[in-house]
């Protein structure tokens, strides 16, 4: 896993009146490292239906699809991975439930990180690196220094680290080399109004695709040509 860990956050998109499937299609034009569906307020049946729409799109693009919080839905929808937090189903139980399902784990302290690394997950997420507005009750900000230390631990364990929390486009550049991937939600969305003009849905989705390509390009080998787009 390397590059953009894109999150399709239904609540954020609903506030912008954007269809999550159309948003995901735009993001997939940038061939991110992974795409996660976060639908915390959705009834399970609706979340499953949405995952089942996203799964073939992701698989055609060769992008792993991640179900947030719900390993059971990940199984039924044919996802590649499930993402669990500190208060969700333990990784050992997820593996008993679905031996072939990859599991990523959220961590917010170095102690949690080391405990997660010991279970050998598909990846670990660490943060919030910066202040975030997309969670109602975020954990304390860890900062860049702690992220660098966490990355060193993850490198030693040979497990990819995903930086999470408050990552904007300018901050994305700062995190290259401190994480294998960066989780982004709001930074994929342009402002609703640009130079006094309200953007159309097509304009917004076009910008989403451009931002996804630019962020993914930061992690490409060779000269960071896409960096100028940020």
Tokens of 57: 């799109």
Report pLDDT for 136. Answer: 62
> Does residue 182 contact residue 6 with C-beta atoms inside 8 Å?
no
Q: Per-residue pLDDT tens, the chain, 230 aa: give them.
A: 999 999 999 999 999 999 999 999 999 999 999 999 999 889 999 999 999 999 999 999 999 999 998 999 999 999 999 999 998 889 999 999 889 899 999 999 999 999 999 999 999 999 999 987 666 667 789 999 999 999 999 999 999 999 999 999 889 999 999 999 999 999 999 988 777 788 899 999 999 999 999 999 999 876 554 444 45
Domains of the chain, start order = 3-229 (3.20.20.70)
CA distance 19 to 110: 37
Phi/psi for 34 (5° steps) reads -165, 160
- Of the candidates 192, 184, 178, the one whose C-alpha atom is nearest the C-alpha of residue 214 is 184
Structure tokens at 147: 């992220």
Nearest to 157 by CA among 122, 206, 183: 122
* pTM of the entire predicted model: 0.92
pLDDT of residue 6: 98
User: What is the signed CA dihedral for 130, 134, 140, 146, rounded to 10 degrees?
Assistant: -40
Distance between CA atoms of residues 130 and 144, nearest Å: 8
Within the chain, what is the greatest distance between any pair of CA atoms?
54
pLDDT, residue 135, reads 65
The CA-to-CA distance between both ends of the chain, in Å, stands at 21
* Distance (Å, whole) CA 210 – CA 199: 15
Q: What pLDDT is attached to residue 228?
A: 44
Report the alpha-carbon distance of residue 148 to residue 153 in Å, rounded: 9
């Amino acid at each position: 896993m390397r590059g953009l860990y894109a999150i399709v956050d239904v609540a954020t998109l609903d506030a912008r009146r954007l269809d999550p499937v159309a948003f995901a299609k735009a993001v997939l034009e940038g061939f991110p490292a992974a795409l996660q569906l976060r639908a915390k307020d959705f009834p399970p049946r609706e979340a499953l239906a949405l995952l089942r729409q996203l799964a073939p799109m992701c698989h055609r693009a060769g992008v792993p699809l991640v179900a947030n919080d719900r390993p059971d839905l990940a199984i039924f929808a044919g996802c590649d991975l499930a993402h669990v937090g500190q208060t969700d189903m333990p990784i050992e139980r997820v593996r008993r439930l679905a031996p072939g399902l990859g599991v990523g784990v959220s961590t917010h302290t170095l102690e949690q990180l080391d405990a997660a690394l010991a279970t050998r997950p598909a990846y670990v997420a660490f943060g919030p690196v910066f202040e975030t507005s997309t969670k109602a009750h975020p954990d304390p900000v860890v900062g860049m220094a702690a992220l660098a230390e966490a990355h060193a631990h993850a490198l030693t364990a040979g497990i990819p680290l995903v930086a999470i929390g408050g990552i904007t486009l300018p901050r994305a550049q700062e995190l290259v080399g401190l994480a294998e991937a960066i989780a982004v939600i709001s930074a994929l969305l342009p402002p609703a109004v640009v130079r006094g003009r309200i953007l159309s849905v097509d304009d917004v989705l076009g910008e989403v695709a451009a931002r996804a390509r630019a962020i993914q390009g930061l992690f490409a080998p060779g000269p960071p040509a896409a960096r100028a787009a940020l």
